[in-house]
Amino acid sequence: MKDLRTIILAAGKGTRMKSQVPKVLHPVCGRPLIQYVLEVAKAVGSLKICAVLGYQHELVRQSLPKGIVSVVQKNLLGTADAVKSAAAFLKGYRGDVLILCGDTPLLTKETVKRLIQKHRTAKAACTFLTAVVDDPTGYGRIIRGKAGAVLAIREHKDATEVERNIGEINVGVYCFGCPELREAIKSVKLNPKKKEFYLTDIIEILVGQGSLVTTVETPSAQEGLGINDREDLAVSAAVLRQRILKNFMVEGVTIVDPQTTYIAADVKIGEDTTIHPFTVIENDVRIGKNCVIGPFARVRPGTKIADEVQVGNFAEVSRTHLGKQTLMKHFSFLGDARVGVKVNIGAGVVTANYDGKNKNVTQIADGAFVGSDSILIAPVKVGKKAITGAGCVVKPGTVIPPQGVIVGVPGRILRRRKD
Ligand code: UD1
Ligand code: CA
């Protein structure tokens, strides 16, 4: 099999986002846009991946995982110029080059695999991805000859009235033979209207010199969505959210109401856990098996929940570990807490983890019973099987011994609980 290297175009500012943040760093389902594309690039077997960065390149570079090469496109002179700026990455290389855009988070690895396969079996100079959409406004249109062969991609701004009615658009995903790409890109001229070098012009160049150009169509129109503005962002989030939920269901998680459940892309949930409606689970969260989460729960980043835990209505957990069989069934907040096994967190319990300067840790050991409305002002240690009385305010620095009982405001340690 031939080698595959991938270039991801991500230098643009994303003017239409109206944002200080580079477009590819806008999060969707808890993950920056570019992350979805990187994942596809890896999944289709890219041996090397190079991201072309420009606008706020330092910031974007920091978000890239290790092993991803990046180059800076000095002046944003268009998509062909972006590919040219990765010349060093392709130097001496003779395999296939996959080109992706950093702003197409709905693209699937299955479709890109199909594209690469077709490119190789057809022995084409270039194979690119098209989609048939209801509203092609803004996209490059696919111009075909009478027999259906591709002739060119016409950018929206340069298209005639008739061409603008074409519903088949360019997704911005291309597979090239590297030698053919290297040669043809030299002939791309500056587009007089936009003052940019269009990568899409390469299609007409290749066709003109008699090279084979083929296409693959996406199975659904939505897969080709390129994020240009906030509305696109919301559309892609809705699609990705349902994909994420579907995956969980396939893996044995009950999602009672997919319409009102929000789970980020990088969450792990064990079998036979039930997620009730109106629940938000953010990224970097792990939940075990046989748990019950929600309704109306918010599980925030850095949280690890063991098996058989219940987190009920109006409960919020942030950067917190909950041990096996711990119950937190009613409105309460745990932040920066390390909670052992079989702990009961009563209704209205709050860890006051932030003192205005630092986030402090609350430790609650196995079998502890934290009474309703207890306020634990961190740092606090609640010993094994200790009890806090209802409405108790535990001052910072308090260490409640194993089986200790603390009550009152401020909390006083009274005695030891009997076994
Ligand atoms: C591009 C395609 C269009 C296609 C659409 C799909 C061109 C000329 N047009 O248009 O045919 O239908 O994508 O979404 O290619 N970028 C750089 N450097 C630049 C300019 C852009 O890296 O100088 C990157 C952007 O960051 C982005 C990608 O290239 O990730 C596409 O750029 P964008 O400006 O969104 O192109 P479109 O106008 O959408
Ligand atoms: Ca775009």
DSSP 260: G
* Closest ligand to residue 10's CA: 1
CB atoms within 10 A of CB 260: 15
This prediction has a pTM of: 0.93
Helix H segments across 24-104? 33-43, 57-63, 79-84, 87-90
CA distance 279 to 261: 5
CB-ligand 1 contact for 103 (6 Å cutoff): yes
pLDDT single digits (tens) 182-220: 999 999 999 999 999 999 999 999 999 999 999 999 999
> Could you tell me the CA-to-CA distances from 311 to 247, 261, 284, 293 in Å, in that order?
22, 15, 17, 5
Q: Where are the domains of the chain?
A: 4-224, 252-416
**pLDDT, tens only, 345-392:** 999 999 999 999 999 999 999 999 999 999 999 999 999 999 999 999
Q: Please state, in angstroms and rounded to a whole number, the distance separating the CA atoms of residues 79 and 140.
A: 13
Average pLDDT, the chain: 97
Using 50, 70 and 90 to split pLDDT, how confident is the model at 222? very high
Catalytic residue (choose from 57, 156, 321, 330): 330
Structure tokens at 116: 């690469």
Q: Is 155 in the pocket of ligand 1 (CB under 6 A)?
A: yes
Query: Which residues, other chains included, contact 121 with Cβ-Cβ below 8 Å and sequence gap of 6+?
Result: none
Tell me, using a 6 A CB cutoff, whether residue 81 lines ligand 1.
yes
* Rounded mean pLDDT, 95-112: 98
Instruction: Choose the residue to mutate in 77, 79, 157 for probing ligand 1, maximizing ligand atoms within 8 Å of C-beta.
Output: 79
Distance CA 161, CA 86 (A): 35
Selection from 115, 107, 106 nearest residue 29 by Cα:
106
Cα(254) to ligand 2 centroid in Å equals 36
98: closest CA among 2, 23, 33?
2
| pLDDT of residue 314 exceeding 80 | yes
Residue 185: its pLDDT value, please?
98
Q: What was the pLDDT predicted at 313?
A: 98
Q: Is the peptide bond before 410 cis (omega within 30 degrees of 0)?
A: yes
CB of 195 closer than 8 Å to CB of 189: no
Specify the pLDDT at position 259.
Answer: 97
- Quick check: CB of 73 below 6 Å from ligand 1? yes
Cβ atoms 265, 246 nearer than 8 A: no
CB 371, CB 389: distance < 8 Å: yes
pLDDT per residue as tens digits for the range 391-418: 999 999 999 999 999 999 999 999 887 7
Nearest CA to ligand 1 atom 35: 228
Whether the CB of 198 sits within 6 Å of ligand 1: yes
- Tell me what percent of the residues of the chain surpass a pLDDT of 70: 100
State which fold the 252-416 domain adopts.
UDP N-Acetylglucosamine Acyltransferase; domain 1 (2.160.10)
Interatomic CA distance for residues 263 and 257, integer angstroms: 12
231 C-alpha to center of ligand 1: Å? 17
**Cβ(169) to ligand 1 under 6 A?**
yes
Pocket flag, ligand 1, residue 225 (CB < 6 Å): no
Ligand 1 atom closest to 172 (CA): 6
For residue 167, what pLDDT is reported? 97
Q: Quick one: angle between helices 109-122 and 33-43, nearest 10?
A: 50
User: Which segments of 268-314 are extended strands (E)?
Assistant: 268-269, 274-275, 279-281, 285-287, 292-293, 298-299, 303-305, 310-311
* 419: pLDDT strictly greater than 80: no
Say yes or no: CB of residue 291 within 6 Å of ligand 1: no
User: How far is it, in rounded angstroms, from Cα 60 to Cα 379?
Assistant: 36
- Closest ligand 1 atom to the C-alpha of 10? 26
Average pLDDT over residues 50-56: 97
**Averaged pLDDT for residues 74-89:** 97
- Find the mean pLDDT for residues 340-346: 98
Residue 325 has pLDDT above 90, yes or no: yes
8 A C-beta contact, residue 125 and residue 211: yes
CATH number 3.40.640.10 given to 4-224 = no
Ligand 1 atom showing the smallest separation from residue 153 Cα: 11
pLDDT for residue 2: 77
The Å distance, Cα 228 to ligand 2 centre, comes to 5
- Stated as kind and residue range, the H or E segment containing 144 is strand 141-144
Would you give the distance in Å from CA 169 to the centre of its chain?
A: 25
Number of neighbouring beta carbons within 10 Å of residue 96: 21
Protein residue with least CA distance to atom 3, ligand 1: 140
pLDDT of residue 1 exceeding 70, the answer is no
Q: How far is CA 125 from CA 177, 205, 209, 243, in A?
A: 6, 11, 11, 34
First vs last Cα of the chain: how many Å apart?
68
* Nearest residue to 225 via CA among 60, 81, 101: 101
Pocket probe mutation, ligand 1, options 76, 85, 101, max atoms within 8 Å of Cβ? 101
pLDDT in tens, 104-137: 999 999 999 999 999 999 999 999 999 999 999 9
Amino acid at 349: V
Q: Decide: 419 and 402 in contact? Cβ < 8 Å.
A: no
> Which pair of structure tokens corresponds to residue 17?
């986002």
Q: What's the CA-to-centroid distance between 11 and ligand 1, angstroms? A: 9
Q: Which amino acid is at 122?
A: A
Taking a C-beta distance cutoff of 8 angstroms, is the pair 363, 382 a contact? yes
Annotation says 57 is catalytic: no
- Is residue 244's pLDDT more than 90? yes
pLDDT of res. 340: 98
Q: How crowded is residue 341: how many other Cβ atoms within 10 Å of its Cβ? A: 16
Q: Is the predicted pLDDT of residue 99 greater than 90, yes or no? A: yes
Same fold for the domain at 4-224 and the one at 252-416?
A: no
**How many angstroms separate the alpha carbon of residue 101 from the centre of ligand 1?**
7
How many angstroms does the Cα of residue 22 sit away from the middle of ligand 2? 13
The residue-averaged pLDDT of 247-263 equals 98
Tokens 């689970």 appear where?
281
